[in-house]
Structure 1
Amino acid sequence: MTTSPNWECLQDNHLQPIASTQELTLTEGQDYSLLTDLYQLTMAASYVGEGVETKQASFELFARKLPEGFGYLIAMGLAQALEYLEKFCFSAAGLEALKATGIFAHAPDKFWALLASARFTGDVWAVPEGTAVFANEPLLRVEAPLWQAQLVETYLLNTLNYQTLVATKAARLRDVAGAEATLLEFGTRRAFSPQGSLWAARAALAAGFDATSNVLAALKLGQKPSGTMAHALVMALTALEGTEEQAFSAFHRYFPTGALLIDTFDTVAAAEKLAQRVNAGEIELAGVRIDSGDIEQLSKIVRNLLPNVPIIASGDIDETEIARLKANGACIDGYGIGTKLVTGAPVNGVYKLVEIDGIPVMKASTSKVTYPGRKQIWRTYIDGVVQHDKLGLITEAKPRSQVPLLQLVVKQGQRLQLPESLADLRSRTTASVASLPPECRDINAPVSCKVNISPELQKLTQQVSEKNR
């Protein structure tokens, strides 16, 4: 889809300054390698100046802790991260614009030569998208020349953090709603940016949603967009043509498989009039949507009036509200989820250096200590249920009957696997969530699965810590 770069680093590209009246949007053909934080570039220039830019470095991307109220995360965003790495380069126009800032006046000439010929040549290890992970477990590790591994940090964090958040929310929503409920992604207008809305749609579909209302995202992903109608149509046609019934008739005439939004004026009155027409054989309804009011009570009344018509609920609904509605016997067949899916407590994933030139390193800052060395996650199952994970060094022997989660997905800059389908990602997410113990899936007071630190990793951490002191 168009959220990931698709360009050639042509010499005749022109990067024009953005005027205050222009819209700052990302399009195909732009230099995405400049979509980074300034300090990535200043550090890279410093590495070149010190002659260490080609030292082999390993960075791992992980969350120190889970967002509040979460018992797990669903890894997502790898496909866009890998596409970015495949296309990694700097255009001549982009480099000229960077030079023009004056910030790099003292940077060595070799820095510019390095960027001009930039390509990603490293290895990437990653947890497959749709896999449940826990705090301190790497979603991804980049092993590459230091300057390359440094420069890609910002983009990798951007796509993995946000898509992992949305995928985790989507997985929780599906888990609570059940397999039979229809879940529609309605978050485009609430996502943090146009690009974010496309990523959110993809993450939601990959983690179990049935469809998205985002037309561009759906078409780019080979899906059919899905939606209903807005109150504006009902209000406009009622004012112009006389009644709410005429507004419903008009919409149904052109979109007979579309759901009717029945809460613009009086939900019960609208349902009663529609029931009369349905019972008289004048109309067949594909569904109705309720977006406001006491959805629990209204759904029961509407179900009595329209017993064979699917009911969709929307309006700032999340997994907690779905659980409440189900517990109280609400008659709802599907949910349109927007704001609470695409916003919320962020996944604060970080990207930290763990090894440089074969030397394990760690951060020792208060409350931000990291584990040194390149690592693997080993998962233990009993009867298909996750018991615990072990975080250990990649040099350790494979534990008996444990499954490694990190897989080699890029070797010397070349992808080793074809992109996966949404159906495959959805299936993996469903199976991964189903494998978690009930206390981990609880949405009120979740208890995350235990992650054991191997004795070898504990020993290395102590050694590096003492060396740092």
Structure 2
Amino acid sequence: MPYPTLLATPDSYGLLTDLYQLTMVSCYAGEGLADRRASFELFTRRLPPSYGYLIAMGLAQAIDYLNNLRFSERHLEALRQTGLFDHAPDEFWQRLAEGGFTGDVWAVPEGTAVFANEPLLRVEAPLWQAQIAETYLLNTLNYQTLVATRAARLRDVAGPTATLLEFGTRRAFSPQGALWAARAAMAAGLDGTSNVLAAVQLGHRPAGTMAHALVMVFTALEDSEDKAFAAFQRYFPGAALLIDTYDTVAAAKRLAAAGTPVAAVRLDSGDLVALSKAVRSHLPTTKILASGDLDEYEIARLQRAGATIDGYGLGTKLVTGEPVNGVYKLVDIDGIPVMKEASGKTTLPGRKQIFRRYAGGQAVGDRLGLLEDTAAPDETPLLQLVVKQGQAIQELESLEAIAARTAASVASLPANLRQLEHPATYGVALSDALVDLAARTRQHPPAQP
């Protein structure tokens, strides 16, 4: 029996959902509700600790998923074989067999700063379609927003000229997650990724250096660390040399004495402040890269301490990050606004729009209103219609365009919101119409038998 590959491919998107999405669809179908028009919004109730903002990311993969959402006969047979759907109505199987997403999607553009309770995305579709989509949409938007936000913070701290490389594949939550992490990091401002598949699929050159193993092999077999450096430079001129396998400063001295130009070196351990200064004294024109479980807080500390570092390889902390606890909640069914009122998890009813107010190029506050609300002269609506009747209506954006939006979006935020420690809280007000709708919805709880 072959080992299962467990790969998520477009032809398997139909089954890539939580069981309860399908059991609920079965109920909707049996009770004649499956085709009612529903609106679900995806948002986070609160920001991660010590974060002043989030950077929305993952929309491209969300649209790809909806474009490919189908249930093949093989999928339907697999569901039947579980025995869980023995009592499911015929209408359930009919909806899945017909398949296809036919709804609309509103979303903020990737690279946009968003805040608690603001929808990153809204799905407006027949109830059964909108319900099934929840799991995948949360997965891609939550994870890519997590990585993009961390990447944006890293770029903000390191500055525009530092080289920042994504090295997180071995720490990402899965091979699929590694590809998404590479994409999100680059779309939020990093310069490249070491993940070869991600780079090739995204139309970029992979970026990386060398590992300690190469140095250890040459030292064991040739009794020479320098032969490892020479061999690597011979086949990959201009690539960075990893010089901290044994004695970092001694390696830098020997490279300087050899007289061969060294484009870059990488430091992966030790006192990065002291070592970078020592290496700089021997190799004044060589770029120094640092790696080793770095994050924005450590980069800020290195800068304050006067480290002479030109770039960073970023892995574990970038791709694991602080969880983005996004949720996907029903806000309207057949034109009837609905809201959840559970303690600590109250939601706001109705289809919403985010209106961002700018003054002198700075974002100075948001107004969360209803889709029908009118923007004030100094406000910009953020949610855009990106899918209409199942068809994408906007061109796919390049990573460079998204990265430029990310940089501009972060730069527009107040400095006290971008600080790493105790960031300020951004003002998000509710429109009068939204407040009134919430009050009226609360006054009409569901009827009880």
Deviations 1:255-290 (A, max 9, x none): 111100000001111111111112xxxx11110000
Which residue of structure 2 lines up, in the alignment, with residue 263 of structure 1? 244
Matches within 5 A, 1:154-165: 154-165=135-146
Asked if residue 196 in structure 1 is aligned to residue 177 in structure 2, the reply is yes
Asked if residue 384 in structure 1 is aligned to residue 361 in structure 2, the reply is yes
Amino acid in structure 1 at the alignment position of 2:167: F
TM-score of the aligned structures, taking structure 2 as reference length: 0.98
SS for the counterpart of 2:444 is helix
Asked if residue 211 in structure 1 is aligned to residue 192 in structure 2, the reply is yes
SS for the counterpart of 1:31 is helix
Amino acid in structure 2 at the alignment position of 1:208: G
Cα pair 2:353 2:368 within 8 Å, conserved: yes
| Rounded Cα–Cα distance in structure 2 between residues aligned with 1:301 and 1:27 | 47
Change (3 A) 1:29 1:346: closer
Which residue of structure 1 lines up, in the alignment, with residue 402 of structure 2? 425
| Rounded Cα–Cα distance in structure 2 between residues aligned with 1:165 and 1:47 | 33
Amino acid in structure 2 at the alignment position of 1:353: L
Which ranges of structure 2 fall in alignment gaps of 5 or more residues?
Answer: none
Alignment match of 1:297 (pick from 270, 274, 277): 274
Amino acid in structure 1 at the alignment position of 2:211: A
Change (3 A) 1:27 1:345: closer
The percent identity for this pair of structures is: 64
> What is the CA distance between 1:398 and its match in structure 2?
2.4
| Rounded Cα–Cα distance in structure 1 between residues aligned with 2:55 and 2:324 | 11
| Rounded Cα–Cα distance in structure 1 between residues aligned with 2:92 and 2:400 | 43
SS for the counterpart of 1:25 is coil
> What is the CA distance between 1:295 and its match in structure 2?
0.5
Alignment match of 1:35 (pick from 1, 11, 16): 16
Which residue of structure 1 lines up, in the alignment, with residue 233 of structure 2? 252
Alignment match of 2:134 (pick from 144, 147, 153): 153
Q: CA RMSD in A?
A: 1.0
Asked if residue 141 in structure 1 is aligned to residue 122 in structure 2, the reply is yes
Asked if residue 121 in structure 1 is aligned to residue 102 in structure 2, the reply is yes
Matches within 5 A, 1:75-114: 75-114=56-95
| Rounded Cα–Cα distance in structure 1 between residues aligned with 2:243 and 2:215 | 9
Number of positions where the alignment pairs a residue of Structure 1 with one of Structure 2? 446
SS for the counterpart of 1:142 is strand
| Rounded Cα–Cα distance in structure 2 between residues aligned with 1:108 and 1:148 | 17
SS for the counterpart of 1:124 is strand
Which ranges of structure 1 fall in alignment gaps of 5 or more residues?
Answer: 1-18
Change (3 A) 1:29 1:174: closer
Alignment match of 2:301 (pick from 324, 331, 341): 324
Asked if residue 343 in structure 1 is aligned to residue 324 in structure 2, the reply is no
Alignment match of 1:352 (pick from 329, 336, 343): 329
Amino acid in structure 2 at the alignment position of 1:85: L
Which residue of structure 2 lines up, in the alignment, with residue 361 of structure 1? 338
Asked if residue 22 in structure 1 is aligned to residue 10 in structure 2, the reply is no
Asked if residue 404 in structure 1 is aligned to residue 381 in structure 2, the reply is yes
Amino acid in structure 2 at the alignment position of 1:286: A
Amino acid in structure 1 at the alignment position of 2:241: L
Cα pair 1:134 1:448 within 8 Å, conserved: no
Amino acid in structure 1 at the alignment position of 2:182: A
| Rounded Cα–Cα distance in structure 1 between residues aligned with 2:398 and 2:218 | 41
Asked if residue 464 in structure 1 is aligned to residue 441 in structure 2, the reply is yes
Which residue of structure 2 lines up, in the alignment, with residue 175 of structure 1? 156
| Rounded Cα–Cα distance in structure 2 between residues aligned with 1:28 and 1:377 | 33
Cα pair 2:150 2:321 within 8 Å, conserved: no
Deviations 1:107-154 (A, max 9, x none): 101111110111100000000000000000000000001000001000
Deviations 1:27-85 (A, max 9, x none): 54641111000000000000001101111000000000001111000000000000111
Alignment match of 2:420 (pick from 425, 438, 443): 443
